[in-house]
Amino acid sequence: MNTPGDSRRSALARIVTAGVGLITAGLAGLVGLVATPRASGPTKKWRKAISVLDLVPNAPTSAVVAERHSDGWYETRKQSVIFVDRDGDGYRALSAVCQHLGCRVHWDDGAQQFKCPCHGGIYDREGRVVAGPPPRPLERLNVRVNPKTSDLEVEL
Amino acid sequence: MNDKLRDLLAWLDDRTAFRTIRHHLLDEPLPPGTGWWFTLGSVLLFGLGVQVVTGIALALFYAPTPDHAWESVRFITTMIPGGHVLRGLHHWGASVVVVAALVHLVRVVFFGSYRKPRELNWIVGLILLQVILAFGLTGYLLPWDQRSYWATVVAINISKLTPLVGESVAALLRGGPDVGALTLTRWYALHVLVLPPTLAGLVVVHLYLMRRQGISGPVKARPGQPQPFFPYQAGRDLLMSIAVGVLLAALAWKGAPPLEPPADPTASDYVPRPEWYFLGLFQLLKYFPGKLEVIGALVLPGIAMTLLALLPWLDRGQSREWRARRTLLSVFTAGLAAVATLTLLGARDKPGSTSTGWNVRELAGAALMASENRCVRCHKPDGLAAPIEAGHVGRPADWLAAHVVDPEVIAPGLREPPEANQRDTAAIVAALARLRAESPPALDPSTAHLHVVVNRTCLGCHLIDGVGGTEGPDLSDVGSKYDLASIERRINNPVDVKPDAEMPAFGGRLTTEEIHAIAAWLAAKK
C-alpha cells in the first residue's frame, strides 16, 4: 500500500542517489581530465646529425641526434639514434627504432643487416624487412647536406 | 590483576563487540578433510603482506624522477643498513606472490572449487591475478635502469596493438610524448596509490565471498565433524607461510639482482628482457610476425583468460572428482604445459652476450683515471669527491664529457682542470660508460701505460677491436699478417717497409721501449 510518505521517500532516495552519482562522476571526470595526456604538436626540425667527413666507408654510420626536450617538468636532452649511409650520389638516413616494438636496432657488419635484439627483427641495408616480426621497414628520415659546414642534417 | 584484565576486556567487548567479530572471523566451521591444499590463499596473503611492508619501507627512500630514481635505488641497496635485503625481499616477494597466485589458481581448477555457487568469486580471483601482474609491470620500471626502461618501452608498444584504441591506451600509459619523467611518476602513482587499494578491496571481496559460500573442501565430501578455522587450519596456514617465508628470506639474503646501468634511450646494444613471469608472452610474440602480432600479444592471452573465466559454466557436472572431469583437466593441463614450455623457451632464448672484454680505449681510460694527476686527485676516500666505482656512475654521457674536460664547470674554484687532450678525454668517457656496469680488469703499470699510448697515437687513424679511426688499416688481427720485428719497423719508420706509406714515423716521438711494447702487443693480435 502506497502512502504519500512512501512516494516522498522514494523520490528523495532517487535524488540522494543521483547526487552521490554526480559527485562521483565529477571526481572521476577531474581525474580523467588530468590523467589524459595532451597531444603535443609536431616538432620536426632540421637537426645536425654527423659530418659528411665522419661517415664510415661501406657501412651505415650510427649517429646520435640530440635535441632539447621537455618531458613534463623535466627538461632534458632527447637523443635519437639514426643510421646514415651513402645512397648513390646522395645519402640515406634511417631511424634506429625497430618498427616492431621500439627496441634499438644495430648494424651487423658480418651479415650486412640491421638486427633487432628483442624479437629477432632483421632489416636490409636500406631498411626493408628481411625477417622477423616487424610490420614496416625502418623509418626513413629526410636528409640534406648543409653546404657551409658539410654536416648532414636530418628532419626529426 | 587477572580480574582487572577480564573486566577491561568485558568493558571493551561491551562497547565494540570484538569477541563477536573474532568469533565470526576465526571460528568458521570448515568441512572435514580441508587440509594443506587449502593453505595457498593464506600463503598468497602472507606474500602480499610482505610486499606491502617492504614497499612502504622502500617508498621512504625512493624518488620517482629520471635523474634520481636510479640513484635512490642504489642508495637503498648500498647505503641503508639491510637495504639490499629489503630490496631483495620486495623483488623476490613479487615472484613469490605470482607463483602463489598461480598455484592457488591451479588448485581451484583441480578441485573444481569454482563450481556453483562460487562462480563470482572465481572471477574476482582472476581479476586479482591481473592486478598482481599489473603490480609486477609497474614496479619493474621504478629502478629506472636499462632493464626497466627497455622492458617498459616494449610493454607500452605492445599496448598499441589493442584494436581501435591502441594509440590512446599507449598515450595514457606513457603520460608524455616518450617513455620518460611523466611515465615514471604515472607508473609510480599506479604502483603505490592506485593498485594497493584496488588489491585490498578485491581481497576483501574475495574473502567475504569465500566466507559467504564456505570453503569448497575436498572433491568428495568426507564423513566427520566440521572443524573451526582457528587454530586448526590457521596452524597449517602459519606453517606454510613460515616455510615460504624462509625460502623468500634465503632468496632475498643476497639481495635483488644488481642494478643495471641507468636508463639510456640511446643504447643500441641493450637487449631487453621481461621479468620471468612475462617470458611466456615474450616468447609467444616471436611466432606472430607483422600484422599477425596482435594474435600473440592480445588474442591468444585474451582467449585463454576468457576460457578460464567461463570455466564455471563449461564444467557443470555433479561430481567434482577428477575421474568425472577428465577431458577438462587434460585440456587445462595441456594449457599449463604450453605456458610452462613457452616460459622455458623464453628463458633459454638468451641473446648472445654483447659484453666483451674492455677494449683498448676503455682500458686506456681506466688507466688515465687512476693516474696520479687525474680523477683520483679529488675522487678518493675522504677526498673532495666520492671515489669512482663500478655501478656508481649515474650521470649521462654528455655531463661526464663536460666534467672530464673541465671539472671547474661543476665546482668553480675548487680545482684546476687536468690538461685536456681529446683522445684521453674520449678514453675516460668510454671507460666511465663501461664503469656503469662493471669494474675494469687490473693492469700492471707498464700495460696500463701501453694502452694509454696506443689510444693516444694509434687509434687516431687505426681501428683496433672496433674502436678508433678508419683512415688507416684495421689492426685487430695484424699479428696474423706481420711478425713483431716487421711491426716494430713499421712504427719506427713506415717508409722503410713501404715507400708510399702515409703513416708518420714514430721513431722520434715515442721511446724505443714504448714502440717495442706496442709492436709486441700488436703482434699478439691474431
Q: Is B295 helix (H, G, I), strand (E, B) or coil?
A: helix
CB atoms inside a 10 Å sphere around CB B233: 21
CA distance B259 to B147: 8
The pLDDT score that the predictor gives to residue A15 is 96
Residues 85..144 of A with a Cβ closer than 8 Å to B: which?
96, 100-106, 117-120, 129, 132-135
Max Cα distance, chain B (Å): 111
The pLDDT score that the predictor gives to residue B419 is 65
Class of domain A46-155 as given by CATH: mainly beta
Cβ-proximal residues to B418 (8 Å cutoff; 6+ apart), any chain: B373, B374, B407
Determine which of A20-24, A52-56, A137-141, B200-204 has the lowest per-residue pLDDT on average. Answer: A52-56
Residue B30 has φ and ψ, to the nearest 5°, of -105, 145
Q: Do A132 and B289 touch (CB under 8 A)?
A: yes
CA distance A53 to B353: 32
Q: Directed axis angle between helix B166-174 and helix B181-189, to 10°?
A: 90
Owner of C-alpha cell 580480574 = B3
Q: SS3 breakdown of chain A: % helix, strand, coil, rounded to 5? A: 20, 40, 40
Q: Does residue B54 belong to any structural domain of this protein?
A: yes
CA distance B452 to B432: 15
Sign of CA dihedral B255, B257, B261, B264: negative
The shortest CB-CB distance from B153 to any of A37, A102, A132 is to: A102
Q: What is the pLDDT of residues B4-42, one digit of tens each?
A: 999 999 999 999 999 999 999 999 999 998 989 999 999
The pLDDT score that the predictor gives to residue B23 is 92
CA distance A118 to B280: 14
* β strands within B131-196, DSSP E: none
Asked if residue B311 lies in contact with residue B109, where contact means CB atoms within 8 angstroms, the answer is yes
Asked if A64 has any chain B CB less than 8 Å from its own CB, the reply is yes
Q: What is the pLDDT of residues B351-378, one digit of tens each?
A: 644 445 788 888 888 888 877 677 877 7
Chain-centroid distance of CA B36 in Å reads 33
Q: Do B172 and A73 touch (CB under 8 A)?
A: no
CA distance A12 to A18: 10
The pLDDT score that the predictor gives to residue B351 is 60
Classify the phi-psi angles of B226: left when phi > 0, otherwise alpha if psi is within -120 to 50, otherwise beta: beta
Asked if B61 has any chain A CB less than 8 Å from its own CB, the reply is no
Q: Chains A, B: CB contacts under 8 A, how many?
A: 101
* β strands within B128-275, DSSP E: 227-228
* β strands within B140-284, DSSP E: 227-228
CA distances from B45 to B40, B93, B215, B249 (A): 9, 12, 16, 17
Q: Does residue B413 belong to any structural domain of this protein?
A: no
Percent of chain A topping pLDDT 90: 34
Q: What is the pLDDT of residues B460-498, one digit of tens each?
A: 888 887 788 777 788 888 888 888 888 888 888 888 888
Asked if residue A119 lies in contact with residue A101, where contact means CB atoms within 8 angstroms, the answer is yes
Asked if residue B462 lies in contact with residue B473, where contact means CB atoms within 8 angstroms, the answer is yes
CATH classification at residue B250: 1.20.810.10
CA distances from B46 to A7, B97, B231, B248, B258 (A): 50, 9, 17, 11, 26
Residues of chain B neighbouring A96 (CB-CB closer than 8 A): 268
CA distance A15 to A9: 10
Q: Which residue has the higher pLDDT, B208 or B296?
A: B208
Q: Do A119 and B181 touch (CB under 8 A)?
A: no
Q: What is the pLDDT of residues B491-522, one digit of tens each?
A: 888 888 888 888 888 888 888 888 888 888 88
Instruction: Tell me the residue type at B130.
Output: Q
CA distance A76 to B322: 60
Q: Do A135 and B293 touch (CB under 8 A)?
A: yes
Owner of C-alpha cell 654536416 = A151
Q: What is the pLDDT of residues B60-93, one digit of tens each?
A: 999 999 989 999 999 999 889 999 999 999 999 9
Residue B268 has pLDDT above 80, yes or no: no
Residue B398 has pLDDT above 70, yes or no: no
Asked if residue B368 lies in contact with residue B428, where contact means CB atoms within 8 angstroms, the answer is yes
CA distance B108 to B40: 10
CA distance B144 to A21: 39
Q: What is the pLDDT of residues A79-128, one digit of tens each?
A: 788 999 988 888 999 999 998 888 888 888 888 999 888 888 899 999 99
The pLDDT score that the predictor gives to residue B273 is 80
Q: Which residue has the higher pLDDT, A6 or B411?
A: A6
Closest A-chain CA to B150: A103
The shortest CB-CB distance from B293 to any of A36, A96, A133 is to: A133
C-alpha cell, B356: 666483451
Residue A101 has φ and ψ, to the nearest 5°, of -130, 20
Q: What is the pLDDT of residues A72-90, one digit of tens each?
A: 888 877 778 899 998 888 8
Q: Does residue B336 belong to any structural domain of this protein?
A: yes
Q: Does residue B309 belong to any structural domain of this protein?
A: yes
CA distances from B487 to A2, A127, B473, B480, B493 (A): 110, 41, 13, 11, 10
Total count of domains within chain B: 1
CA distance B339 to B344: 9
CB atoms inside a 10 Å sphere around CB B77: 19
Q: Does residue B90 belong to any structural domain of this protein?
A: yes
* Short-list B22, B93, B124, B54, CA closest to B241: B93
Determine which of A55-59, B136-140, B264-268 has the lowest per-residue pLDDT on average. Answer: B264-268
Q: pTM of the prediction?
A: 0.76
Cβ-proximal residues to B481 (8 Å cutoff; 6+ apart), any chain: none
In B60-118, alpha helices (H): 69-79, 83-110
CA distance B186 to B15: 44
Closest A-chain CA to B282: A119
Owner of C-alpha cell 578460464 = B308
Q: Does residue B472 belong to any structural domain of this protein?
A: no
Q: Do A120 and B286 touch (CB under 8 A)?
A: yes
CA distance B142 to B356: 28
Instruction: Supply angle C-alpha B420, B425, B426, rounded to 5.
Output: 150
The pLDDT score that the predictor gives to residue B112 is 94
Determine which of B202-206, B263-267, B292-296 has the lowest per-residue pLDDT on average. Answer: B263-267
* Short-list B367, B373, B521, B524, CA closest to B444: B367
Q: Which domain holds residue B203?
A: 31-348
HSE (side-chain half, CA atoms, 13 Å) at A134? 27
Q: Does residue B38 belong to any structural domain of this protein?
A: yes
Q: Do B181 and A80 touch (CB under 8 A)?
A: no
The pLDDT score that the predictor gives to residue B119 is 96
Owner of C-alpha cell 642494478 = B259
